[in-house]
């Protein structure tokens, strides 16, 4: 019998013994991310990501660039959402986490020469082992699991701020007193492309602001009280005294929102709230983006 004979003359439907059409399900996008992100930015690496680690070991780690390298002064480029689970971005995140685990509490992509708006941050008890309990309390520093934030936005939650010494992997061997917000909201995307939205307080908030600065071409030395700049081995030396030109002696700790001296300057000469708002996009506007002239994915 012919193919036509297998159809009924009334409805044209196939008989039971006629070939059936296969139901084709729509293709679902399968994430290739090396881990999963939680709402608070916490990154949970997949146990089967051994292959990604081997790739990074084979390639070798990128060097952390030092002050004076042009890419540290460029404004990083946003990562297209469709590229987040690409091998290039996943390997970059993996490498940043590996470097940060061994060397610090935060790292921006620009610090390894990649102009992408990505930073990672973490803090653990081992890294706090050389800090006194009193200093930890004063800085509101507590452990938190590693976080990955892509295309971050950092917004202050209040005008409360504090001044403490900061260092940087890209300005090795030095410290300076920097004033930062005590509480900020961080939004963006995790390493798997899911949205993240959390409030960082205390030392975690300081880390987020420091890394956000990097993505906008700013180093902590641009915001510090320059009179406090010192080598790491001089960190416990006394603060400089009151000065007729620069005002009151610098001091560490929480600052009042309207903390001014008799000359109207913020105490310790550190960057005030209005200055910090500039890089957060709340006050002064960022100038035209200057980039290295190439795509972050090249």
Helices 50-59 and 87-103: angle between axes, nearest 10 degrees? 80
The pLDDT score that the predictor gives to residue 153 is 98
The pLDDT score that the predictor gives to residue 287 is 43
Tens of pLDDT, residues 47-70: 766 555 565 555 667 999 999 999
The pLDDT score that the predictor gives to residue 173 is 96
The pLDDT score that the predictor gives to residue 272 is 38
Of the given ranges (68-82, 118-132, 252-266), which has the lowest mean pLDDT? 252-266
pLDDT band at 25 (very low <50, low <70, confident <90, very high): low
The pLDDT score that the predictor gives to residue 56 is 56
Tens of pLDDT, residues 177-213: 999 999 999 999 999 999 999 999 999 999 999 999 9
Region 41-46: mean pLDDT is 92
Known catalytic residue at 211 = yes
Going from the C-alpha of 262 to that of each of 52, 242, 246, 265, 274, the distances in angstroms are 58, 12, 11, 8, 19
The pLDDT score that the predictor gives to residue 270 is 37
Q: pLDDT over 90 for what percent of the chain? A: 66
Strands of 106-108's sheet in order across: 106-108, 118-123, 144-156, 183-189, 195-201
Tens of pLDDT, residues 147-187: 999 999 999 999 999 999 999 999 999 999 999 999 999 99
pTM above 0.85, yes or no: no
Please say whether the beta carbons of 72 and 111 come within 8 A: yes
| Helix (H/G/I), strand (E/B), else coil: 274 | helix
* Catalytic residue (one of 45, 95, 146, 211): 211
């Amino acid at each position: 019998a012919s193919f036509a004979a297998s159809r009924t003359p009334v409805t044209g439907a196939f008989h039971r013994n006629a070939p059936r059409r296969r139901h084709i399900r729509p293709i679902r996008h399968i994430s290739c991310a090396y881990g999963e992100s939680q709402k608070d930015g916490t990154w949970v690496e997949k146990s089967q990501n051994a292959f990604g680690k081997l790739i990074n070991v084979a390639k070798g780690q990128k060097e952390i660039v030092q002050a004076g390298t042009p890419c540290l002064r460029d404004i990083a480029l946003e990562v297209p959402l469709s590229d987040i689970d690409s091998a290039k971005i996943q390997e970059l995140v993996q490498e940043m986490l590996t470097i940060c685990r061994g060397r610090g509490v935060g790292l921006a992509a620009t610090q390894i020469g990649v102009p992408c708006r990505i930073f990672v941050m973490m803090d653990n008890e081992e890294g706090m082992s050389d800090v006194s309990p009193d200093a930890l309390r004063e800085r509101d520093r507590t452990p938190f699991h590693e976080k990955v934030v892509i295309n971050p936005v950092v917004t202050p939650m209040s005008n409360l701020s504090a001044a403490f010494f900061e260092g940087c992997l890209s300005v090795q061997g030095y410290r300076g007193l920097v004033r930062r917000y005590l509480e900020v909201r961080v939004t963006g995307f995790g390493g798997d492309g899911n949205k993240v939205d959390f409030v960082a307080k205390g030392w975690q908030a300081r880390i987020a602001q420091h890394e956000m600065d990097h993505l906008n071409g700013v180093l902590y030395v641009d915001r510090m009280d320059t009179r406090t700049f010192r080598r790491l081995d001089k960190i416990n030396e006394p603060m400089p005294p009151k000065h007729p030109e620069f005002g009151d002696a610098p001091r560490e700790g929480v600052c009042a929102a309207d903390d001014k001296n008799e000359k109207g300057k913020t105490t310790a000469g550190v960057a005030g709230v209005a200055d910090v708002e500039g890089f957060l996009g709340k006050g002064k506007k960022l100038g035209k983006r200057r980039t290295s002239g190439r795509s972050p994915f090249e």
